[in-house]
Structure 1
């Protein structure tokens, strides 16, 4: 199975993403847009694992969640980057030290357990709206489009997801949730419309 670690999204954030996605669609000639049922925030993509590796990952997530208190993150501006010359457009997450600390902790715990993770360049928290997007206008014009107001969302649990195809459709299926132990929430905020190539 192919797995990754991330967060489920509340309904309010999903509705915001659908509205933003519609704006991107109007500005696009073509692309593969994320099914709203698949909206999520990825913390770490792992890749293919066997049953033993899956159990080791779940043990890591349980330990990481045990020492975490819930916190708040907030959506930011549109962003994009390219993979193999294909544009991926996403809604960003405002700079948040708690989120980055959790990412670092998670990486260290996976490494300690010798769990192999997929290569990546830095951690850019984002909510993917579509892949292989070809715009009908320039990026700067799309960045200026009026978007729904930023929304805060509570981060209260890590989730292990499986990436599968069901009846030809890509589905990100939650395998298990690992709730955080504490109660206090906090937020860090900054915003930017970033283009990364």
Structure 2
């Protein structure tokens, strides 16, 4: 039930085949690391917009914005690129990048406009760098330049057919990104996911 405040974000689901490829790359990063918090393979996704804590009224407004954003957009594909990172406080966030996609950036811009129109968020203050996070708080045991030499899957295509509203929740101490509702592209009606489908 949606009677309480929850933590949410908007993203794109990934096919199992892509998650498997990400898992293989993640293992290479683990071998090059002394420590870190690595993404559970079930949680692999492409973040479009982090929202944070919302109440039931705000959730409804977000869903309205998502429905409008996806009303006329048709499905498209994106492709994976090389390893990338954000470096903060002597630790790494390591990710697999996404090749430049005009359509993906258009969806991001429209999504932001719709969210602002519904007064559900403030303007995004960070640049949109599409990426698939492999791990956070990583301390490497080798130079970054050496890690970048690891062979990667080439030009893995990812279908983008919908935006998904996710809930970030702890289940028995484990972080779970639980899909709440899918909003398919190309004029399809949003589909709220049943509890049976979302239970981890």
TM-score normalised to the size of structure 2?
Answer: 0.88
For 1:170, the equivalent position in structure 2 comes to 175
Shift of 1:179: 0.5
3-state SS, counterpart of residue 154 of structure 2: coil
For 1:100, the equivalent position in structure 2 comes to 105
User: 1:27 aligned to 32, 36, 42, which one?
Assistant: 32
Runs of 4+ that moved beyond 6 A? none
Say if 2:53 is the partner of 1:48. Answer: yes
**Structure of greater relative contact order (alpha carbons < 8 Å, 6+ residues apart):** 1
Shift of 1:148: 2.3
Shift of 1:64: 0.8
> Contact 1:47 / 1:118 at 8 angstroms: preserved in 2?
no
For 2:118, the equivalent position in structure 1 comes to 113
Question: Alignment length, in residue pairs?
Answer: 183
> Contact 2:78 / 2:158 at 8 angstroms: preserved in 1?
yes
User: 1:78 aligned to 65, 83, 88, which one?
Assistant: 83
Q: How does 1:147-162 map to 2 (within 5 A)?
A: 147-162=152-167
Q: Show structure 2 runs of 5+ residues with no match.
A: 1-5, 189-200
Deviation per residue, 1:63-110 (Å, 9 max, x gap): 111110000000000000024543100000000000001100100111
Shift of 1:150: 2.6
